[in-house]
């Protein structure tokens, strides 16, 4: 039996803005393309698989990729209580993303106040229900959204995703100092694309290196939450919009996220 890593925080703490979640977990990165959205969505699905009630908010308003990863589409409707009805994965996990409000190839140009407004609206006006976790996929790099979030909800912690390469690590260090600056606790670092095991010969190849994030985390005095190998199954699942199916059904693909979930 798997033990549910639900945080023992009373939902009431977030009551003043109407959001009822025991834990708010941000997933950020210093730059794009390191697998932040894949980690955010997979972590949310894993927590759900472990028995928690989970909501997923895609705050990467510049490049919302959560709907694609999960194969979700549709327009959120407004309920009689004037709440935004999120799109529900398998009729269950509430998901909210700017991707549901835009045409597929529509670009967004945000001014600060609009960005602030859309993020707070996603938080306050979405009918999230009562959650154990709200997982938030952050835009890479910039601090605007982190600042808005820190002003609106007590964030439990930020998970910073990076790859093992030195340049990626430097960007991750910037992301960590950004979170610290806006008083968001750093939950720890995740090293994505941390090695590759050849499915034919079983040999390990450290394509982008390995271990850099663990060392950097130690240097910075933040927890190291675990590594995630390059995984073709994960990449194909994301491209096909079938990440949920893979995380629910494939214990091997899910294992690294269970490790992160437990370390939160």
* Integer Cα distance of 162 and 180 in angstroms: 17
Nearer to ligand ADP, 52 or 138 (CB): 138
Question: Is there binding between residue 231 and ligand ADP (CB under 6 A)?
Answer: yes
Residue given tokens 């009822």 in the structure block: 20
Strands 157-162 and 20-29, bridge-based pairing: parallel
* Integer Cα distance of 36 and 42 in angstroms: 10
Judged by CB under 6 A, the residue of 32, 51, 154, 223 near ligand ADP is: 32
Joined together, the tokens standing for residue 51 give 């028995």
Which window, 81-89, 106-114, 206-214, 223-231, contacts ligand ADP (CB under 6 A)?
223-231
* Integer Cα distance of 192 and 94 in angstroms: 26
Judged by CB under 6 A, the residue of 115, 126, 238, 264 near ligand ADP is: 238
Touching ligand ADP, residues 156-185 (CB under 6 A):
none
Question: Is there binding between residue 72 and ligand ADP (CB under 6 A)?
Answer: no
**Least distance (Å) from ligand ADP to the CB of residue 108?**
16
- 197 three-class SS: strand
Contact (Cβ atoms closer than 8 angstroms) between residue 148 and residue 119: yes
Judged by CB under 6 A, the residue of 139, 192, 208, 213 near ligand ADP is: 192
Among 31, 101, 38, 24, CA closest to 66:
38
Judged by CB under 6 A, the residue of 33, 74, 112, 129 near ligand ADP is: 33
Binding site for ligand ADP (CB under 6 A): 29, 32-38, 65, 192-193, 228, 230-231, 234-235, 238
């Amino acid at each position: 039996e798997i033990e549910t890593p639900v945080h023992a925080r009373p939902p009431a703490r977030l009551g003043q803005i109407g959001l009822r979640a025991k834990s708010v977990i941000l997933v950020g990165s210093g730059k794009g393309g390191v697998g932040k959205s894949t980690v955010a969505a997979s972590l949310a699905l894993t927590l759900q698989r472990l028995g928690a009630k989970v909501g997923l908010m895609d705050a990467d308003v510049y490049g919302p990729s959560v709907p694609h990863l999960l194969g979700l589409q549709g327009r959120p409707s407004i309920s009689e209580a004037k709440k935004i009805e999120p799109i529900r994965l398998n009729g269950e996990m509430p998901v909210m993303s700017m991707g549901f409000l835009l045409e597929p190839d529509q670009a967004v140009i945000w001014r600060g106040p609009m960005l602030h407004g859309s993020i707070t609206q996603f938080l306050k006006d979405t009918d999230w229900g009562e959650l154990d976790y709200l997982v938030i996929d952050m835009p890479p790099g910039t601090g605007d959204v982190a600042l808005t979030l820190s002003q609106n909800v007590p964030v439990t912690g930020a998970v910073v995703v990076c790859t093992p390469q030195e340049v990626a690590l430097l960007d991750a260090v910037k992301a960590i100092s950004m979170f610290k600056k806006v008083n968001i606790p750093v939950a720890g670092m995740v090293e994505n694309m941390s090695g590759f095991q050849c499915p034919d010969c079983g040999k390990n190849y450290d394509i982008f290196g390995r271990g850099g994030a663990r060392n950097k985390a130690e240097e910075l005095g933040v927890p190291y939450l675990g590594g995630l190998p390059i995984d073709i199954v994960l990449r194909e699942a994301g491209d096909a919009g079938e990440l949920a199916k893979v995380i629910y059904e494939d214990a091997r693909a899910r294992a690294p996220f269970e490790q992160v979930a437990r370390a939160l």
